Chains A and B, each alone.
Chain A
Amino acid sequence: MMSENLNGHVTDYGTILKQESIAQGIYSMWLETKAAKDAGAGQFVSLYSSNGATLLPRPISICEINDEKTALRLVYRVVGKGTREFSEMNAGEKIKLIGPLGNGYTLKNKTAILAAGGIGIPPVVELAKQLKQADKGKINIVAGYRNSDMFLVEELRRYGNVFIATEDGSVGTKGNVLDAIRENHIEAEVIYACGPLPMLRAVKQYAGNNEMEAQLSLEERMACGIGACLGCVCKTTKKDSHTNVNNTRICTDGPVFDANEVEI
């Protein structure tokens, strides 16, 4: 039973159009799916394994949506059984999914820094594309990698002014994305961020110190992906209207939050 429901969530068998490795352990997959129709920057889809012993859907952020809104590009890191299975699939094969899930970025008419680290870089591509298409203001993109084995840099350069940080210093600023922002004296009114938790904490602090708005994309282990299981919660500064405690659901109320709303 596969269908489209009232909230626009689609359960579907997407067809792989193209799959390639774009860096060590990083794969890019274009997937033809009805879930692309209403997808936005910062949202995600959950992919299901076909192995009956690998039960839970894998939440993967949307890297790009094609212009026709018929296909999604997913760029993901192989971290376990599920993602390994996906990486071994080829064009023409089908993959079960649900999406688009969650709330993505809110595009603001402000000069922007898009701060992304590691496997947090993919969703920033679609965000940069949409910000540029809507002519929302100057776009500075700061991407952090471990080393020179980089990915998606070409795509990012199409949409904004790109700064690179690498942990080993082999390209751009030696250090993390915050080091690159400081070194290049990048100024903006809003920071859109996606990346590892320590990076998001640093972005939150930096935005707070500089009186900037920040939108952070969080991640957590999920089971259902649709808000029922309460597995993927994040602490909130105020009582959440749905849960009635200081916890919010990353899958449905996020994954993108205003930095002031969450305790990370």
Chain B
Amino acid sequence: MNTKINIAGVELKNPVMTASGTFGSGMEYSEFVDLNKLGAVVTKGVANVPWEGNPTPRIAETHGGMLNAIGLQNPGIDVFVNRDIPFLKEYDTKIIVNVCGHTKEEYLEVVERLSGEPVDMLEINISCPNVKQGGIGFGQNADSVFDITDAVKRVAVQPVIMKLSPNVTDITEMAKAAEAAGADAVSLINTLTGMKIDIERQTFALANKTGGLSGPVIKPVAVRMVNQVANAVAIPIIGMGGIANYEDAIEFILAGATAVSVGTANFYHPYTTLEIIDGIEKYMAAHGCEDINELIGKVNRV
């Protein structure tokens, strides 16, 4: 049975990775999860300098999901390169570094800095809804998606994944712009912008007022968008949004995703990634599937 998949020439032992921002750089979860078993670890977004993030409360639970407004708190590229990359290099898994910035120049500084580092791919975050500058600001207009993708591709040594926002009228336009500018892959979906009101305190549940909605509640939206994008571009898709078990992962793969990321589920069940890897193999055996690649986008071929 083959569970290996390939994204832009990088071979992953299986299609299961972690969604940026839900897994740190793997240290905390390495207590629970053998990182060697993961297809890839996608790190928390890193910027050129340390970011403090938003005030608290940063977290609010909603029915079947949660809102977060962390605001991309991160230790900056220097600490990341000296601490987090060497940590991850000890494991037999692929390293995908999520890159964030307020401006194009800040993204490029991080991308250039990573060019000499042993990382396998870059994921460019143009979809964070929780920062005032940058983030989603680059990802809601096809021209700016093209522009930032093009700029990153000119300096990037590693393959580039553009992480797309669902907070747009037509996500296929963003995916096509990324592809046209040379993106090697796209990942989707980031969180949906949401809000919760605390009726006892009669104010916003989050200090940032709005936050990104994630968890099982967003899965049908994510599957729909992955499927739309799969029918619009030829580059590989990393699908995510509410994946909590192998059935969810298979759904995304059948819809058109080459790989999947597990996010919010890590928070409430730290073993989710491993259980999905096992579950995918059992599903393949039960369905007489010899190669996972046969399943990618299968619904689009019937």
Contact = CB atoms under 8 A, between A and B. Distances in A.
Interface of A is mostly: loop
B199 to A, nearest CB: 11
Interface string B252-287: 000000000000101110110011000000000000
A6 B28 contact: no
B102 to A, nearest CB: 15
Interface centre among B44, B52, B274, B275 (most CB of A within 10 A): B52
A205 to B, nearest CB: 21
A229 B70 contact: yes
A230 interface: yes
B32 A231 contact: no
A133 interface: no
A223 B75 contact: no
Nearest to B200: A79
Interface string A224-236: 1111111111100
B215 interface: yes
A247 B53 contact: yes
Contact of B73 (A53, A98, A233): A233
Interface stretch (B6-14, B55-63, B185-193): B55-63
A228 B24 contact: yes
A245 B23 contact: no
B58 A56 contact: no
A244 B274 contact: no
Contacts of B60: 221
B22 interface: yes
B52 A55 contact: no
Contact of B75 (A9, A220, A234, A244): A244
Contacts of B270: 11, 98, 224, 226
Contacts of B234: none
B33 to A, nearest CB: 10
A216 B215 CA distance: 33
A228 B268 contact: no
Contacts of A109: none
A233 B53 contact: yes
Q: Which of A7, A55, A225, A243 has the most CB of B within 10 A?
A: A55
A98 to B, nearest CB: 8
B79 interface: yes
Interface string A211-227: 00000000011111111
Interface in B39-81: 44, 50-53, 56-61, 63-66, 68, 70, 73, 75-76, 79
B28 A224 contact: yes
A56 B251 CA distance: 24
Contact of B59 (A5, A11, A229): A229
A221 B31 contact: no
A246 B75 CA distance: 10
B267 A229 contact: yes
Interface of A: 1, 5-7, 9, 11, 48, 52-57, 98, 220-234, 242-247, 252
